[in-house]
A = this chain, B = another copy of it.
Amino acid sequence: MAKLITAVLLSGGISSRFWPLLDKNTFVFQGKEFLYWHYLQLIRAGIDTCIVVTNESTNNSIRSVVVPEGLRVSYVIQKGQGMGQAVAALDGLLLDEPILILNTSDYYSDNFITSFVQKIQGENTMILGAVRLSNYFPGGYLRFNIDKTVAEVIEKPPKGKEPSDIGRIVADFYPKAGTIIDAVKLVGDDQVNGYEKAMNLVIANGLSCKAEITEFLNWCPMKYPWHILTCMQQFFPTKQEQHIHPSVEIKKNVVIEGSVIIEEGVKIFEGTKIVGPVYIGKNTIIGNNNIIRHSHIGSFVVTGFSTDITRSYIGDNCWFHTNYIGDSVIGNNVSMGSGSVCANLRLDDEEISNVVKGEKIKTEKNKLGAMIGNNVRMGVNSSIMPGIKIGQNSFIGAGVVVDRDLEEDKFIFLKNGIPTTIDNTKKAVVSREEFRKSL
């Protein structure tokens, strides 16, 4: 009988492109961290052992993620950055075990993961997850031998110089963990391509390597904050099911359509419409005359009167009041004053671009609203332009039109009519008492 596969989850990235949101591994969907959803998926695919590679700063929060029954998890901290360093951290922990390396930045469909695990079960060759590409993408490509085995991984070939139309994804199977660990150690300290060099070294040393190619990959990356909007959809109920906790209070003239999950203690007031897929977390209050469509709403949220939340992610403890929030990502403990709007469409309907770490990024979205960190406050009648990011602990004054990203811990306000940014010396309060009073 073949040895059971150990999954290695690479969770040691520092999520810098995910700003203004924090560590993606512990980002919460439906009350559970993103990593928890990975754990569940592994269990569904038949894997019962897993090592999570963390980094110094996220190690504690990642360890606090509850592990579902049926999975044994151990943790190891990687020293530097990059996948090579992540695999090097496994040295001494694994030797002859078959391993499947996955990156928790990417969430693949259950179909893919389950089928891949079945295919690699008991194999004694290296097997790489791969996808047939119809367009160029700036990642790793596979070069093949005549016998269709993989000859080499080529990182970011120039456009037109691709060795095939097969791109590599991070789903790498090794029949023995030690093989890749040793290779990584040999390659040494290359934080960018160390891992890929090690893979090529393993192949060059004679281990046969196959590609498991899918024609179409249902793939959800969590690199940029707007990816949250795609990723959250993976966890909505797929069938037209309505899971409404018996404690939920639904007032008159409320219409609920489509698939919804509504948790314990939620109240939904008169004249409101919910159009699934929608998730509403515990103890959240959906006010009068709201419309909530295709959105994730955390727990202890109050949406107030006449609010429209459409295709958006809302964290916990947020407060709204007569707002429009479209195609937006809102962190925890954010509040918006009456008439404050997250615009989600350019006047010319063109693609909304974004600057991430100084680099202009195509979002490939024509509808994209704001991305707002934790503990942000927005004044009445303020507006955020499409695709703008607001750092945590920042305040936006009444009537301000925010048309560029705002760092954390800033206060932008109208000083004699002119938008003026200063350091924010105030902190957003989470008024638990208020929550309780209103429940």
Contact = CB atoms under 8 A, between A and B. Distances in A.
Given A288-B273, A291-B305, A399 B383 contact: yes
Given A270-B271, A339-B383, A347-B411, 10 more contacts: A253-B253, A253-B271, A271-B289, A305-B308, A341-B381, A347-B377, A348-B395, A348-B426, A399-B399, A401-B414
* The 3 nearest A-B residue pairs measured at CB: A348-B426, A324-B338, A347-B377
A399 B401 contact: yes
B347 A343 contact: no
A357 B393 CA distance: 35
Interface stretch (A15-23, A146-154, A259-267, A416-424): A416-424
Interface string A101-137: 0000000000000000000000000000000000000
A368 to B, nearest CB: 14
A252 B255 contact: yes
Interface string A391-408: 000010111010100000
A380 interface: yes
B341 A428 contact: no
Nearest to A251: B255
B337 A339 contact: no
Interface in A224-252: 251-252
A32 interface: no
A322 B324 contact: yes
A381 B383 contact: yes
A347 B429 CA distance: 9
A147 to B, nearest CB: 46
A79 interface: no
Interface of A: 251-253, 255, 269-271, 273, 288-289, 291, 305-306, 308, 321-322, 324, 326, 337-339, 341, 343, 345, 347-350, 377, 379-381, 383, 385, 395, 397-399, 401, 403, 411, 414, 416-419, 426-429, 431
A221 B175 CA distance: 82
B343 A341 contact: no
B338 A395 contact: no
A349 B431 contact: yes
B379 A343 contact: yes
11 contacts: A253-B253, A308-B322, A338-B341, A338-B343, A341-B380, A343-B398, A348-B427, A381-B381, A399-B399, A403-B414, A417-B417
Most chain B Cβ neighbours within 10 Å, of A350, A377, A379, A398? A398
B380 A383 contact: yes
Contacts of A271: 253, 270-271, 273, 289
Contact of A343 (B291, B308, B337): B337
A403 B413 CA distance: 11
A291 B291 contact: no
Contacts of A305: 291, 308, 324
A429 B349 contact: yes
Contacts of A398: 343, 383, 385, 401, 403
